[in-house]
Amino acid sequence: MPKKAKAAGSRKEEGPVPCKQMKVEAAGGPSALNFESPSSLFESLISPINTETFFKEFWEQKPLLIRRDDPALATYYGSLFKLTDLKSLCSQGMYYGRDVNVCRCVSGKKKVLNKDGKAHFLQLRKDFDQKRATIQFHQPQRFKDELWRIQEKLECYFGSLVGSNVYITPAGSQGLPPHYDDVEVFILQLEGEKHWRLYHPTVPLAREYSVEAEGRLGRPVHEFTLKPGDLLYFPRGTIHQADTPVGLAHSTHVTLSTYQNNSWGDFLLDTISGLVFDTAKEDVELRGGIPRQLLLVESTAVATRRLSGFLRMLADRLEGTKELLSSDMKKDFIMHRLPPYSAGDGVELSTPGGKLPRLDSVVRLQFKDHIVLTVLPDQDQSDEAQEKMVYIYHSLKNRRETHMMGNEEETESHGLRFPWSHLDALKQIWNSSAISVKDLKLTTDEEKENLMSGTQHLWKKVSHRGCLRDGEKPELEGGKNSVFTWKD
């Protein structure tokens, strides 16, 4: 929600980092984030900076500090995670390494103080108090509903995974050495104060995490102290370190991170294979064999020139392509992201008595932010006979408990598969707020009703390997986790 901005630089310890001061109007009531939509959530998160300014001047370019003179927002931030929350969380079965790390920065290096097995609150508190260790809690959105609510909306907003870590550091201590990350970072200060130093990137928009030797850092370009309710953003590659000042209470902050492996380079790698696959069907030169023993020798000038020619030809073809044969990034995102936020026992979608839509029904797509529509070769056919199929993947059945935890063996994608001939009809549903089944662009009324009916020859569940399982009930059949709703 909009706030009055106050002139930056009102506190002497602030460095040259761009800073905005936010103050609550006396009659404005308590401050809170706006969850009406993904865009309104992000707007309220970075208020009073507007999103146009943020993406034009700061995103992937330079840090932004937003100070808040807002007791209500500070209280709200403090409710997201507290040191005392660890007691109840440990009672649920937290493990060192997986859920919790205990560490301290000693002589510019990270010293890990983890025990084996389950983490017990009394031991964590002992290491915290006596060894001045930082407690790092991984992916708290798995357990804290309000962080789930925030991160689910941010994943809709960015179209990218959003993870989080909580750092709880005692006074006079530092948990991590100077380093940079491969993610865009938003810091929310929850409890106490944290002193930050930021340095120019040695690798702008870095693609990997790296520790930096203190002797190479030089002077920080930004230095300031965050207080509850404050927000700090900095791009991936920004070298940073933080400590809790001596003589103060402990500090708790949460780091929200996004845009890992989400660059143009990643997208190019994801799309080029599909483009080559399509083009090779029509271009005999691409189907020709490479020279004998090319794989046994260094690349030759002839091979390089040939590849350059193919790339120019693919670039020309790409200019006129409407449907990019690309799905890995889309599928990975939808498969690993958070399910829609629900304050109850999971996502419950209303359907009229579990009935199937008829020809005169009006249908609409639910949870569009949690669904991707993509085109892929049919994975049930051999390479020689593969035809394009339309896939809809959704995250309605994803497990919050495994979000960002790397449990690949426990992860499967949920989705639906359609013949290529249904693409236009699916796009109608995708692009309409509501549409009558009889108006779908399909040849016969039977096809229109079959599209809605969930018959097994159209609707199948997709396993985590992208193959299709037969004999499983589709999500469309009404009740929980339905992709569509309708009215007669």
DSSP string, 260-322: TT-SHHHHHHHHHHHHHHHHHHH-HHHHSPPPTTGGGSPPPHHHHHHHHHHHHHHHHHHHT-S
What is the rounded CA–CA span in Å between residue 468 and residue 484?
Answer: 20
More confident residue, 82 or 416: 82
What is the rounded CA–CA span in Å between residue 428 and residue 443?
Answer: 14
Give the pLDDT score at 366. Answer: 82
Distances (CA, A) of 297 to 303, 304, 311, 330: 11, 13, 22, 36
Strand partners of residue 365: 484
The answer on pLDDT for 340 being more than 80 is yes
pLDDT mean across residues, the chain = 83
Percent of the chain with pLDDT over 90: 56
Distances (CA, A) of 125 to 68, 110, 170, 172, 182: 30, 19, 10, 16, 31
Q: Sign of the C-alpha dihedral, residues 73, 77, 83, 85?
A: positive
Give the pLDDT score at 317. Answer: 87
Mean pLDDT of 349-356: 52
Q: Sorting pLDDT into bands at 50, 70 and 90, what band is 379?
A: low
The answer on pLDDT for 164 being more than 60 is yes
Q: Are strands 19-23 and 64-69 parallel, antiparallel or unpaired?
A: parallel
The answer on pLDDT for 50 being more than 90 is yes
Q: Sorting pLDDT into bands at 50, 70 and 90, what band is 352?
A: very low
Q: Sorting pLDDT into bands at 50, 70 and 90, what band is 300?
A: confident
The answer on pLDDT for 472 being more than 60 is no
Strand partners of residue 226: 194
The answer on pLDDT for 401 being more than 80 is yes
Least Cα distance to 125 among 173, 79, 90, 97 occurs for 90
The answer on pLDDT for 64 being more than 90 is yes
More confident residue, 116 or 430: 116
Give the pLDDT score at 25. Answer: 34
What is the rounded CA–CA span in Å between residue 475 and residue 459?
Answer: 8
User: What pTM was computed for the model?
Assistant: 0.85
Q: Sorting pLDDT into bands at 50, 70 and 90, what band is 13?
A: very low
The answer on pLDDT for 79 being more than 50 is yes
Question: How many H helices and E strands in the chain?
Answer: 12, 23
Mean pLDDT of 239-258: 96
Mean pLDDT of 109-128: 96
